[in-house]
Structure 1
Amino acid sequence: MMNDAVDNALDSEDIEEETEEEIDKVLTAIAGETAAQLPEAVRKEKLKQPATSEDVEESVDDEEELEEIRARLARVRS
């Protein structure tokens, strides 16, 4: 019974992979080269994205926090 459950769980992963492969094949057949290039283009775009304003704000907050800690440390040392 336990083996059946494990086998079924593993089979579902295989089915998902096969489904994704078939979907990719259909998209490639429909859209031609454009669909084939999409995953690569998306990956390249993610690498090229500049820092978001949230990232910049976080780094500013980190810098302010670091300065506060340095000031407190200087007070403790003196």
Structure 2
Amino acid sequence: MNDTLDSALDSEDIEEEEEEEEEEETEEEEIDKVLAAIAGETAAQLPEAIRKQKLKQPATSEDAEDNVDDEEELEEMRTRLARVRP
């Protein structure tokens, strides 16, 4: 008789534990969804923040040199492209 009671009580405990685990998993999923939404909003705002930061920074001579180099490279590419085109 005691064995039957112990067995019945154990099965109830197991069922309760399983229910608690399922609830925890559901809660964790909800938390993950909220965190993902927050992270997505934050990530979406990053490019705008970076652009604003770049606008605030004055152009340096190094930036100007990079732009000149870029223009020179573009001109070289255009010249090579013109040679290849019929």
Structure exhibiting the larger radius of gyration computed from Cα positions: 2
- Tell me the TM-score normalized by structure 2: 0.36
- Tell me the TM-score normalized by structure 1: 0.38
Which has the higher relative contact order, 1 or 2, with Cα contacts under 8 A spaced 6 or more apart? 1
